[in-house]
Homo-oligomer: A and B are copies of this chain.
């Protein structure tokens, strides 16, 4: 069955655009500062096994995943890079980390102890990142444990090389006073611990100021096109094209309603609707019901009525019949529709739009030219 015959939605990932975004972030950095890449959650839904090698080809040498399983998947593709596991070292995972040369991000003194014990058992130094919680209350050493680590730095003996790490809670709000408070705390703690490279900034953190860069930055969302500086011009390029095929076009009668719950009433004569083959089961969010946008060529159309599981309905009144026709592709994310715009319409953030894309689309990867 050829692609043109398929009724399935289509997702095109532009790996060259991902690479350009990586270079764009790296261009913000002073000499010697490393630009790592966050590829957890299947590279935010874009496909880690394609995205991570593409990033390695433009110079990324350190990658961050959330789970050990994600690191194991990447290792054979990228035998020479450093792979950090953000969710830390759960008891029993020591051998997996060692075997696949994964660097755990140690989130507690308990995890530090687990990993140093494993290092002793193996009589060899093991790499690690130590995550200090400066204001997320989520993962990382809380203040009480940082204090103990400062008093007993020998707890890190046997771990090498080391990276000191923390994470910003509000970096996407450049004026938020929490940013500088977290920064001061991180600098303060860092000054009291053994010397080691440090990493603090996520995508938005990179654009806050050079004070947040330290020795390594960890962009994720920006690589995939999400704007790291909300309310300012997006310095990133879009990396995705999400399209769905029109299945049917109909003239609808005034006074009738559209879709589940009859939430959209047709108040005018001469309205034409198109039904396209994508829905919330394919990651097009139900919260975009009656609010989502799409493009048919250069013409904007509105999602009307509720988003169904496998279908959406669009108001194509006034669009020429040779454009709004069964078999035509509509754009839902792409050059006309930034992922951030799609997210805003759905009441969420670009990150969730990306990670919801799922495996049900026909995927194409554009290789860099």
Contacts and interface: CB of A to CB of B under 8 A. Distances in A.
Interface in A299-314: 305, 308-311, 313
A67 B142 contact: no
A135 interface: yes
A114 to B, nearest CB: 11
A327 interface: yes
A7 B91 CA distance: 10
Contact of A1 (B93, B257, B310): B93
A44 B42 CA distance: 22
A54 interface: no
A356 B355 CA distance: 10
Interface stretch (A23-31, A74-82, A205-213, A279-287): A279-287
Copies assembled: 2
A248 B107 contact: yes
Contacts of A169: 257, 259-262
Contacts of A155: none
B137 A256 contact: yes
A335 interface: no
Contacts of A309: 40-41, 44, 66, 351, 355
Interface in A335-369: 347-349, 351-352, 355-356, 358-360
User: What 8 pairs across the A-B complex have the smallest Cβ distances?
Assistant: A5-B92, A41-B281, A281-B355, A66-B310, A137-B258, A280-B352, A286-B352, A142-B250
